[in-house]
Structure 1
Amino acid sequence: MAILSDRDIVESMMTGYIGISDYSERGLTPNGYDLRIAEISVRGDPEVKREGTVTIPPRTMFYVSTVERVRMANDICAQLWLRTTWIRRGIIGAFGKIDAGFEGTLTLGAYNATDDPVEIPIGERFCQMVLETLNSETIKAYSERSGNYQGQTGITLEPLRKD
């Protein structure tokens, strides 16, 4: 397994091997890509925020959807890491791995672990996606296994597809 460098990411996008829609040069890091916030849903508030700055109350769970729509090849997966900017403000992220063959926006869970409100602007970089090559292509990609969130757009808390 190897991590893709900035050069690998750009070349892979140029050839169509992987996809990152709404790509921003600012998001490219030496060994990954920073995903931006498209919308935020604060637990207990029925309104999904899509513009401005969202205040996350103390000790509150919230969900973020990414601006970018990603498409992984069948031998590429990705780790997700909360940007240290948010960790330093008391945000804790609960992220999974992006499976080989996945395509869609991402829904990320996070928690304001402080006793103070935290302001998060829509459009800000939230987490880093670190792409990794698998030793070989999968027998069945994500869409052929569970594929519960394949093709999702926006904050998606329930599977799109039931097994």
Structure 2
Amino acid sequence: MVLSDGTIRSLLQNGELGISPLTPGQVQPASVDIRLGDTYGIVEDGSEGVLRLDQRIHYKTIRAERYLLLPGQFVLASTMEYVKLPGDMTAFVEGRSSVGRLGLFIQNAGWVDPGFEGEITLELFNANRCAIELRAGRRIGQLVFARLDARAQNAYRGKYQGQRGATGSRIFLDGELRLDDI
């Protein structure tokens, strides 16, 4: 079940759900607006021009209040908000219609696992023929929350837990056994 504004406010007030910083106007009827942070990540070109999923991908990190996203360009960005979900709640990341109508595609794989904590890394793509100016603090998307039928037996403790800033892919770690996996 998708959570309503009243339920979201109650969960925020009792500390069960954490979103910071947060202004009252960000809580919508069935979601919370998320804003663009000031950190961007761009995949660095390798000498071969090929990204390999089993090798570390290097990113150039840029901190800026303003970023010009060129036509056809892809960039990672972070949210201003640090989110902390309880073990019985998930969230969906959705773009705002008014942003999508500009040709700005926003994604983060669309899903935030129960137990996740951190800033959300967004993947932004400019499908327009014009550059799009991105500004820190601008409402860029929304989180839609839903309760699980039961608390997750294995809440998220993965490779992106606690992330801050635009965090690049860590897919190369998929095959490695970590202490958290034992």
TM above 0.5, yes or no, is yes
CA distance in 1, matches of 2:40, 2:34: 17
From 55, 60, 67, give the equivalent of 2:80. Answer: 67
Q: Which one of 159, 175, 179 corresponds to residue 148 of structure 1?
A: 159
Cα deviation for residue 159 of structure 1 reads 3.4
Give the counterpart letter for 1:57 in structure 2.
L
Higher alpha-carbon Rg:
2
**Mean Cα deviation higher: 22-31 or 38-47:** 38-47
Q: Is 2:135 aligned against 1:116?
A: no
Matches within 5 A, 1:72-91: 72-91=85-104
> Can you give the 5+ residue segments of structure 1 that lack an aligned partner in the other structure?
none
Alignment of 1:2-151 (within 5 A): 2-41=1-40, 43=42, 46-51=60-65, 53-96=66-109, 97-143=111-157, 147-151=158-162
The amino acid across from 1:56 in the alignment is L
**Which string of whole-angstrom CA distances, capped at 9 and with x for unpartnered residues, describes residues 83-106 of structure 1?**
112101111122220000000101
TM superposition score normalised by structure 2: 0.81
Aligned residues: 158
Per-residue CA deviation, residues 29-64 of structure 1 (Å, 9 max, x unaligned), is: 10010111112426368351331x321111100111
Maintained 8 Å contact 1:4/1:130: yes
- Alpha-carbon shift at residue 117 of structure 1 (Å): 0.5
Unpaired segments ≥5 residues, structure 2: 45-59, 178-182
Equivalent residue of 1:43, what SS?
A: strand
Equivalent pair of 2:42/2:61 in contact (CA under 8 Å):
no
1:65 Cα deviation (Å)? 0.2
**For residues 74 and 44 of structure 1, what CA distance do their matches in structure 2 show?**
32
- Give the % identical residues: 29
